[in-house]
Amino acid sequence: MYDILQQDIQYVPGVGPKRKEILSKELGIKTFGDLLEYYPYKYVDRSKIFHINELTSEMPFVQVKGEILSFEEFDMGPRKKRIVAHMTDGTGIVDLVWFMRAKQIAKNYKVNTEYIVFGKPTIYNGRYQFAHPEVEKVDDVQLTEMGMQPYYSTTERMKKAGITSRTIEKIMKSLLEKLTDPLPETLPPFIANRLRLVSRDTAFRHIHYPKTADELRHARVRLKFEELFYVQLNIVRYASDHRRKYRGYIFQHVGNIFNEFYKHHLPFPLTNAQKRVIREIRTDMGSGRQMNRLLQGDVGSGKTLVALMSMLIALDNNYQACIMAPTEILAEQHLATIREFLGDMPVRVELLTGIVKGKKRLEILQGIADGSVQILVGTHAMIEDTVQFLHLGFVVVDEQHRFGVAQRAKLWSKSLNPPHVLVMTATPIPRTLAMTIYGDLDVSVIDELPPGRKPVVTLHKYDNQTTSLYNGIRQQIQQGRQVYIVFPLIKESERIDLKNLEEGFETLLQVFPEFKLSKVHGQMKPADKEEEMQRFVRGETQILVATTVIEVGVNVPNASVMVILDAQRFGLSQLHQLRGRVGRGADQSYCILVTTHQLSKETATRIDIMCDTNDGFQIAEADLKLRGPGDLEGTQQSGMAFDLKIADIARDGQLVQLARDEAQRIIDDDPDCKKSEYEMLWNRLAALRKTNMNWAAIS
């Protein structure tokens, strides 16, 4: 029976070769199964017929039944006509109006014939009318079967070829009539019965033609659960295999290096959250299995300190550690931070990036190979074949969504056994999304800031309030603080944006003649950009005018104001990352979002969320709901966009958890995937993995 769902779409009545080509190119629909999984985006209740005398202009789309009494034509200019059909059901008269296709209308619809008309009632010249309604002969419509009418998304090319939502609906009806045998099950009875899920066959029929809202709800739950369940089953199976297959190095003791650091070099007391995470990491490293842990924490929550202390445990057990960052600036920042933390401790920490060349590079490569380099900080330059570790035991990957799977795997292969891996991200990820993107990792969260940190105050100003904005900036600088002013740099309009930045910089020079300004953007030479950044870091300039290149990698505790111009052009997570550049010292810091007055509802919501909370996880949840997982920063470009046809990770959190729990229960009972009662699941999973399902999401 699986074969019938693999059949070519052109053999569905109403499709044929031409429509097949369009459906394939526009929607990727090639088989019966693809068509079944093309779900409606909305439904309209077609089960009720109204009398004409019941109509009001506030009604949404409704249907009436009556006879056409007569037609009238009105000239609307050269070669344009308005055609009006007067229709009655005995309780009143309503006009059906078309502004095109006059000949076709007159040919299709006849007087003294009963029709069902569906449309939005409006009033024109004191009479109710339907503009461009759907009209069908009463004989062609079985009202008891209509229930809720599905609506399908279409593209411009489809519309031009005459493939409307109604066309897809009719094709879908033909397909379901063609599938006379019930579709085979893909979930075993013990899951379907326990969770009270309708059959797969019923779900597909009711998702396309529900008679009631209840039928639709049950169909959706079944199809969403199945989709999420197989994604989670694959993730949990992979994680289970990985844990059993790869034995981790056992770091049995915490020794002199860690203790020396903890007693004499700790820059500030650890928060309870940091202590909890270090305990979780220590447990993993002593368990005998390879650690794969995701460390989430907002900007400034102290992730680097946790990573360093974890690396020191590796050093105490005679292993090397490394930290891989996505950019040279961030790698250099990590190097400076780690060296500052360690002070005069006899630990050799080196940097390896593309700019480390010649004799210095050879020295470092030799030190990595003989083990004298204990901690290596770098970019993807670390995964080159020339880099050979003596005993690599612990790897930290920072902002991992910027690295591909192959890059990480190459780093792991530099050790006899895979090293313990700590993945860090300052982009808080909602739990349901983390469960799916990073489903094979254990998750730790640092959910409190170090003592003395004050939450950043976020304010919204309009672009005609620059006088008060400039006065506020001036006051802060006079108190000895520094200020970031960020211009958007969005690739589609890069030239205009750069022009805006250049002109804005000139304006700011005139506004603040008493202060020194730096300017940084991505088009500058790396050396010039670095010099400008360093001038700001050293306090030689008071204002840094920049694009979003400062989003990661700049740590200036003295900077207390972040001004984001045209804030309506930034996403929530980007605004939150930029805001994280301030609030790093003990002084009260401010983030000012400057926008135009014309804001869409969604943009206004984004700005309100930023002003209301500093909690990165709340912001990430809101971002997920506003934009969906495929648009979240980092997920799209790393092949983590989910190929989910009906489930929505943002809105179906409970179903994600339910699917996860079911998948875990099965793997716990059958870790080798060999028990006969689960055979259906393993076969289905194997079939799905051969399809276009995007399993890269669970790298």
Ranges 42-46, 512-516, 684-688, most confident: 512-516
pLDDT above 90 coverage of the chain, percent:
45
Contacts of 88 (CB under 8 A, 6+ apart): 52, 66, 67, 69, 94
Beta strands in 360-511 (DSSP E): 375-378, 392-398, 420-425, 442-446, 457-462, 482-486
Whether the per-residue pLDDT at 493 is higher than 90: the answer is no
| Between 490 and 477, the higher pLDDT residue | 477
Question: How long is the chain?
Answer: 699
Give the pLDDT of residue 631.
Answer: 47
Give the pLDDT of residue 696.
Answer: 37
Q: Which residue has the tokens 């996505």?
A: 326
Q: Exposure of 281 by Cβ count < 10 A (0-12 exposed, 13-18 middle, 19+ buried)? A: buried
Global pTM reads: 0.67
Confidence class of residue 620 from pLDDT cuts 50, 70 and 90?
Answer: confident
Lowest mean per-residue pLDDT among 285-294, 446-455, 624-633: 624-633
Confidence class of residue 323 from pLDDT cuts 50, 70 and 90?
Answer: very high
DSSP classification of residue 413: T
Rounded distance between C-alpha atoms, residue 347 and residue 312, angstroms: 9
Contacts of 445 (CB under 8 A, 6+ apart): 273, 277, 295, 296, 297
Nearest to 642 by CA among 56, 232, 68: 232
Confidence class of residue 577 from pLDDT cuts 50, 70 and 90?
Answer: confident
Beta strands in 329-404 (DSSP E): 349-352, 375-378, 392-398
Give the pLDDT of residue 500.
Answer: 76
Element (H, E) at 659: helix 653-669
* Mean pLDDT computed over 127-139: 86
- The 10s digit of each residue's pLDDT in 530-553 is 788 888 888 999 999 987 766 555
Give the pLDDT of residue 404.
Answer: 54
- The 10s digit of each residue's pLDDT in 238-276 is 888 877 777 889 998 899 999 999 999 998 889 999 999
For residue 222, what are its two tokens? 């079944």
For residue 98, what are its two tokens? 């078309």
Give the pLDDT of residue 453.
Answer: 75
* Mean pLDDT computed over 677-683: 91
- The 10s digit of each residue's pLDDT in 376-422 is 999 888 888 889 999 999 999 987 555 555 666 677 677 777 899 99
Contacts of 384 (CB under 8 A, 6+ apart): none
Phi-psi region of 299 (alpha: psi -120 to 50; beta: other; left: phi over 0): beta
Hey, which residues does 119 pair with through a beta bridge? Answer: 62
Determine contact, residues 319/391, Cβ cutoff 8 Å.
yes
* Mean pLDDT computed over 69-96: 88
| Between 682 and 492, the higher pLDDT residue | 682
> How many Cβ atoms are within 10 Å of 646's Cβ, its own excluded?
17
Amino acid at 651: R
Instruction: Supply the mean pLDDT for the chain.
Output: 85
Rounded distance between C-alpha atoms, residue 460 and residue 456, angstroms: 13
Sign of CA dihedral 369, 371, 372, 378: positive
- The 10s digit of each residue's pLDDT in 10-31 is 999 999 999 999 999 999 999 9
DSSP classification of residue 164: -
